[in-house]
Structures are given as C-alpha cells and as structure tokens.
Amino acid sequence: MSLVKGMAICRNFVPETDLSKIRVVLVDDHRMIREGLRGIIEETTDMIVVAEASDGCMAVDVAHAIRPDVMVMDVNMPKMNGLEATRKIKEELPHVRVIGLSLYNDPKIAGAMRKAGAEAYLSKGSFQELCAVIRHGTAQE
C-alpha cells in the first residue's frame, strides 16, 4: 500500500478506464470493519476495493483522487461524519454512488443518509446484502 495525502491506496488500484470491475472505496474509522468488508468484496469477481479512508475528510479526498464507482460510507466517524462527507461527495461528484453503513438499523439514520445523497443504507449486520447493493444500488427496506 502507498499513501497519498494521508489515504491508503490499495495495491490493486484499477485505473478509471478499466470498466470490467466495480471500483469500491471503503470508509470506516474501524480498521477491522474495513478489513471485513474488504474480505467480502474480494470474494467476488466483479468488484475490487481500490482504496480505504478512516474519516469523512479523507473520504472526500479519496473520492476526488480515485473517482470510484461506489463508496461504502460509515455514518459515525471523526473529523467529518458520513452524512456530511456523502453530501459533499454527491454535490461535487454526483456519479459516485454512496452506500451508507451504520451499526444501527435506524430508519432516521437511513433517511438522513438518503437525504444527504446516499443511494442505499445498510446496517453493519447486513454484510450478506452488501455485494448485491453495490451491484444494483438499492437495499431492500
């Protein structure tokens, strides 16, 4: 891994021109959560984790630097929370899809993430559904 402006860029970075895989960025302040999500995504053949970020400010920088297809965004993070990071990313890069992720299966949090621009929201207990949501952009409510 190499560092660019404080963000971890994965070894398996896929250039923006390679459209064969869905390019995913993982954003969570807990390394173990990111590692678990990475493990799930790396079991697929049509997705690749291209970068990770541990806070909302880093997520915005990563979005601009990498221009991923999808960002899996934790809601509660230091420096800038996932709501504000999602709002900024969607304003500046509307083509980047954001999937909100939280420990809580709370309709208020889901609504706030959708209002910020997220296409979907999952609780961290919904890992099995994650790949389908990354592919199709919506979660079963």
Instruction: Return the structure tokens found at 23.
Output: 């390019």
Distances (CA, A) of 85 to 15, 36, 44, 99, 141: 23, 22, 27, 12, 23
Residue 128 placed within a domain: yes
Model pTM greater than 0.85? no
Residues 66-85: b if buried by 16+ CB within 10 A, e if exposed? bebbbbbbbbebeebbbbbb
Rounded distance, CA 77 to CA 55, Å? 5
According to DSSP, the residues that pair with 72 across neighbouring strands are 26, 99
Residue 78 placed within a domain: yes
Residue 63 placed within a domain: yes
Number of independent structural domains in the chain: 1
Distances (CA, A) of 33 to 4, 18, 53: 22, 27, 12
Instruction: Return the structure tokens found at 31.
Output: 């390394």
Residue 141 placed within a domain: no
Residue 53 placed within a domain: yes
Residue 124 placed within a domain: yes
Mean pLDDT in residue range 9-31: 72
User: DSSP letters of 5-37?
Assistant: TTEEEPTT---TT--SSEEEEEE-S-HHHHHHH
Residue 51 placed within a domain: yes
- Identify the CATH number of the domain in which residue 73 sits: 3.40.50.2300
* Domain membership of residue 53 as a residue range: 2-136
Task: Specify the pLDDT at position 137.
Answer: 65
Residue 24 placed within a domain: yes
Instruction: Dump pLDDT digits (tens) for 56-104.
Output: 999 999 999 999 999 999 999 989 999 999 999 999 999 999 999 888 7
